[in-house]
Structures are given as C-alpha cells and as structure tokens.
Amino acid sequence: MKLDRLALLIILLVLFISLAPAAAKDHSDKKTHNTIEAGEHSETASSETHDQGAHGHVNLGETLPLYSCIPFACMLLSIALLPLIAGNIWHHHFGKISAFWAACLALPFLYAYKGIALHEIFHIILADYVPFIILLWALFTISGGILLKGTLRGTPIINMIIILIGTILASWMGTTGAAMLMIRPFLRANAHRKNKAFMVVFFIFLVANIGGALTPLGDPPLFLGFLHGVSFFWTFKILPHMLVASIILLVIYFALDTYHYKKEGAKAPDDGEKKPLRLVGTYNFIFLGGVVVSVLMSGILDLGTISTLGVHRAVQDWLRDGLLIVFGIASLWVTPRTLREENEFSWFPIIEVAYLFIGIFITMIPCLLLLKAGPNGAFAFLINAVKEPVHYFFVTGMLSAFLDNAPTYLTFFNTALGSFYSGMAETSSVPLLMTENAIYLKAISAGAVFFGACSYIGNAPNFMVRSIAAEAGIEMPSFFGYILKYSLVFLIPTFIIVGFIFF
C-alpha cells in the first residue's frame, strides 16, 4: 500500500476516534480497569458486570451453548488449512474469508439475542479490537523507521545474542515492541542462511512471549493484574520460571542453529570491507518511549468513562489510542521514505493481521463469554477441575494459547481470589494472594504469558512476526505445522519441566 493511501486510512481512523465518543461522559466513582497488549487489548472490569452492563441483561455466558464456539473453530481451521490446500485463494481472499466467519457468528447471534448481542459485538470491537490494532500499527510503523546498518552475520552466537537482547527488552517495551524492533535486523543478519524457519519460531517463543514475563508492561495479562492491585515489581517473582524456560529454549536453539550452520557450510558472502554497526532513525526511539508511557498512563490515570454506542471505555484509553496514532504519524512524517525502503518495510503484514484478527475477535465472543461465566457456563467442567497450582499453570496456559490471554488471566485470577478469600474486598484479598498464596498467582501469570507462544494466534506479535518473515521469503510452518513440529516438541516439554520444578 502506498503511503498516501495509508495516510487516508489514518485520517479516517482519527476521525472515527474523534467522533465516536460523542455520547455523554459517565463519571462514576468506580474506576474502570483496562487491559493492553503492551497491550494490545482493553477489558472493562468496572463494578457492573460486562454482560449485564447498564441494561440489566442476563449473563450470556451462562446461557450460550458450547456449539456457539463453532465459528471460532472454523476461523482457526481456515487459518490452519486453507494456506495449504488452497494457497492462491487464501492469499487473495483471506479478508473475505475472515469476514465470512465473522458473519456466521454475528448474524445468528444478533437474531437470537438482539440488542445484547449487538452490545457484545460493539464491545469487542471498540474495547478490544480497536486498541489492539492501533497499538500494533503504532509499534509496527515506528519500529519500521529504525534501521540497523553495517555488517551483521547470523552465526549461532550472534543469533542467540540477538534473541537474548530481544527477550530482555520484551519486559520493558512489551513483547510486541521488542519483536517489531528486533525481527528485521534478525532476518537481515541471516539472509544468507538456508534453514531459517526454526530461527523465527524460537524468536517468537522467546522475544514475542516468554520475555514479557517480568513487568506489567511486558504482556497484557500482567498489566491487567497490575490494574487489579498486583504491585508493579511483584512479577519479578516469575524471574526463576522465565530463566529456566529461556535457558532451556536458548540451549536448544543454539544446538539446532549450530547443527544447521555446519551442515549448510553457511559462510556469508564476501561483499567487501566489513562495515561497523550503527542505528539509523534513532529518533524513533522517542516515539517508542511515548508508546510505552502512553500505555502505562492508561493504567494509572482515572479520568472517568465515556459511553460509545453503549460501550463504556475509560477516557484515558481513548487518550492513549489517540496518542499512539499521533506517534505513528509523527514517525511517518520525520522518517525518510528511503530509510523505510532500505528497511524492506511494507504495509502487508499489518493489513493481514487487521483483516484476520477482526474475524478472530468477533468469532471469539462466545468463547470469552463462556470463560467469564466460570462455573456457571459450559466451561464449568474445566473451571471446577482447577484446584492445584499446576492446574492453574496448565489450564490458564492452554486457554491462553488460543484465546485472549487477558480475560483468561482475569478468570483464573478471580477463581483463585474466590477460592481463598471469598467475600473479601479486592483491595484486601489481592495483597494476601501475592503473599500467602503467591504460588497460585505465579502459576496464573506464567501460564498466561508463556503459553501464548504455543500458536500463531496465542499473542499479538506472533502472527505479525510470521507475516514479516513470510514476506521476506522464509517458508514458515503452517498453523498446525508450528504446533506439531515446534510447540509440542520444544515448548510443552519445557513447560512441563517448569511446572514440575515450580508448581
């Protein structure tokens, strides 16, 4: 897409954000809690339950049947199978396919539940999808203006160092920010290599997921915990879990990379004198810092709420989204087009993610409602089976691998609070959960963050990294290929070890 077309889209988005919250402000005393993906998502958790809202509606999660999740399953199967069996059709029509499955859920849902269903659809679009895609777009745009020049050759040691740096950065600038910043230099460093798919997969494992476990800025569920009273640095208690998982995966990666490097005889082409490494477009780090501060601000300030089409969102969330757009436009404005071209920057990855994830978000609605219903919904058999820390770790994790990990975290966070401190106010119970029963909170937090690496849709940057790698000519594994060849072989055994040691 040309920059002028993108600018038009941005202007329309700005107008939408400016005009949408035109309804009256609701300055209730209850603070509205929101999630991001360092944020990607925003989940209202005010004193009114989301499903009842301001209209007194019954909780849909308690009435929806399990088969209402079928469109979501079909959406996942389309992502998994169509690129393999009908690649040309998928490449040209994935947006239409996403819209088809969204309609398959939305139309009968609206017919059966009328205004309640419309409210749910508006809610997931305005409170979840819009901030999700704005954050991704901002980070994708800004990081695309930072170019690492010089001679950098992807040896096993160099590659491991790049992944390690990205893993460390992920807790402080979010998994999405770190992944978008590091993936292009990583791919360029290995342009001369033959077997590159496994490199990108391990990059997703560590930089796009596990690395975000140490602070609330790292991953949306941890930010959600921060909003509900978990202290900012408490998540450093997951450091031993993160170290064990990271060390195991880095050792495996180094062994695989060394094997392929020797097998390929992967000597870099001699292109003359080696040039020193240097960063160009470093002013974009100012915009990246602005994104991080904006995200943190949205969780600290309480400026009241705005009702937009019946959906209550915090004023600071709209402010955050507006600032992210401003930072993205500023990056486009000050960064020379030639620098982005040299960085092999294109808009296709963000367009692909935007088209596919609107379908994923809409078809996911019944799954999230059933999950939020806890023991009163069709997932009761699963919720009621969660008793021990290891159960919290694996059940939270496996649901986070395919659903939004923020509400999954919140579900089991509240399950733990209800199990140990039933009837106690959150302000009193959360500090006790952090101390007396910290192992349960560790299990929930680690599961929600770590298992996002198990599938392409488990965390926001996963699909983005896959798309950027595919555009660079790397033959990435299919949806099921990723799970069967990498997640089940490397990730799940690693998590079993983590569960055995700590839970």
Cα gap 217→210, rounded to integer Å: 13
Domain assignment present for 250: yes
**Section 326-355 average pLDDT:** 89
Count of positions (residues) in the chain? 503
Q: What is the pLDDT at residue 273?
A: 62
**Section 132-136 average pLDDT:** 85
For the chain, give the percent of residues with pLDDT over 90.
33
Cα gap 131→299, rounded to integer Å: 14
Most confident of 288-302, 416-430, 474-488: 474-488
| Number of domains within the chain | 1
Query: What is the side-by-side strand order in the sheet with 305-308?
Result: 25-26, 305-308, 311-314
Q: What is the pLDDT at residue 237?
A: 93
Cα gap 313→35, rounded to integer Å: 11
Q: Which residues of 5-18 are buried (b: 16+ CB within 10 A; e: fewer)?
A: ebeeebeebeeebe
Q: Show the tokens assigned to 100.
A: 């088809």
Domain assignment present for 176: yes
Pick the residue with more confidence: 249 or 87?
249
Q: Quick one: pLDDT band at residue 58, thresholds 50, 70, 90?
A: low
Domain holding 454, by residue range, is 3-44+59-265+280-502
For residue 4, is pLDDT > 50? no
Among 16-25, 55-64, 304-313, 357-366, whose mean pLDDT is lowest? 16-25
Residue written as tokens 């079909």? 74
Pick the residue with more confidence: 495 or 45?
495
Q: What is the pLDDT at residue 268?
A: 56
Domain assignment present for 340: yes
For residue 343, is pLDDT > 60? yes
For residue 42, is pLDDT > 60? no
* Number of Cβ within a 10 Å radius of residue 79: 24
For residue 272, is pLDDT > 70? no
Q: Quick one: pLDDT band at residue 454, thresholds 50, 70, 90?
A: very high
* Number of Cβ within a 10 Å radius of residue 383: 18
Domain assignment present for 274: no
CB–CB of 357/403 below 8 Å? no
**Residues 59-75 pLDDT 10s:** 787 888 888 989 988 99
φ and ψ at 254, to 5 degrees?
-60, -40
Q: What is the pTM of this model?
A: 0.77
For residue 323, is pLDDT > 70? yes
Pick the residue with more confidence: 451 or 4?
451
**Residues 478-490 pLDDT 10s:** 888 999 999 999 9
Domain assignment present for 125: yes
Instruction: Tell me the one-letter amino acid at 135.
Output: L
Domain assignment present for 36: yes
For residue 431, is pLDDT > 50? yes
Pick the residue with more confidence: 94 or 35?
94
Pick the residue with more confidence: 357 or 394?
394
Cα gap 219→167, rounded to integer Å: 12
Kind and range of the H or E element at 295? helix 284-300
CB–CB of 209/220 below 8 Å? no
Domain assignment present for 333: yes
Domain assignment present for 148: yes
How, if at all, do strands 311-314 and 147-149 pair? Answer: unpaired
